[in-house]
A and B are shown apart, each in its own frame.
Chain A
Amino acid sequence: NAGVMQNPRHLVRRRGQEARLRCSPMKGHSHVYWYRQLPEEGLKFMVYLQKENIIDESGMPKERFSAEFPKEGPSILRIQQVVRGDSAAYFCASSPPGLFTDTQYFGPGTRLTVL
């Protein structure tokens, strides 16, 4: 059973460009979470999605950031007009449906570098 998959693993963008980060949850998992880890800091929650629904986006910056988890295909975290401060590791996690959904399994992350 493959784990959580993320791609690309490394992404370099120039200021003003768009970044698209993809996450495929573990098989059978319908809950996806995105976290950001800035250099030398802890992970910070960004958004929690279920298929076709955003459940909690309280950690998402108000502008330039969006996330989706369509019925088919991976979850996408999209950052428009990137700035240097967006440089970070972005981790996706997934959990299964049902009552005990609080155990989250993390993907290898996408390291975004903004030049």
Chain B
Amino acid sequence: RKEVEQDPGPFNVPEGATVAFNCTYSNSASQSFFWYRQDCRKEPKLLMSVYSSGNEDGRFTAQLNRASQYISLLIRDSKLSDSATYLCVVNSEGGATNKLIFGTGTLLAVQP
């Protein structure tokens, strides 16, 4: 079983749509959770950290369910510029190592 699993997509949605991505992780000792965005042939860029209480940044909402080891990202009112691969990322164990474990990513294509 992969440490971080995501639906690879692609998700093809029209502009203005709401889209949700899901992710599960296997290591219950993980302490930190993130969503990164990666454009084609570019570096990953931090989109947002994910907290148990849930957090929102504009059109983006992230949720964490520790009991189910499940992370989600909701994008409202999709824009063409949201087209990218969204990476679910987990800190492997917390503590000293700081090793990030990446999912393979979910590809989003927003259509005009």
Contact = CB atoms under 8 A, between A and B. Distances in A.
Contact of B104 (A33, A41, A91): A41
A106 B99 contact: no
Contacts of B25: none
Identify whether the interface residues of A are mostly helix, strand, loop, or mixed. Answer: strand
A44 B46 CA distance: 16
B37 to A, nearest CB: 11
Interface in B78-112: 87, 91-92, 94, 96-105
A17 interface: no
Interface residues of B, number: 24
The CB with the most chain A CB atoms within 10 A, among B42, B99, B101, is that of B99
A42 B87 CA distance: 9
A57 B34 CA distance: 22
B43 interface: yes
Interface in B24-66: 31-32, 34, 41-46, 49
Interface of A: 31, 33, 35, 41-45, 48, 55-56, 58-59, 89, 91, 93, 95, 101-109, 111
Interface of B: 31-32, 34, 41-46, 49, 87, 91-92, 94, 96-105
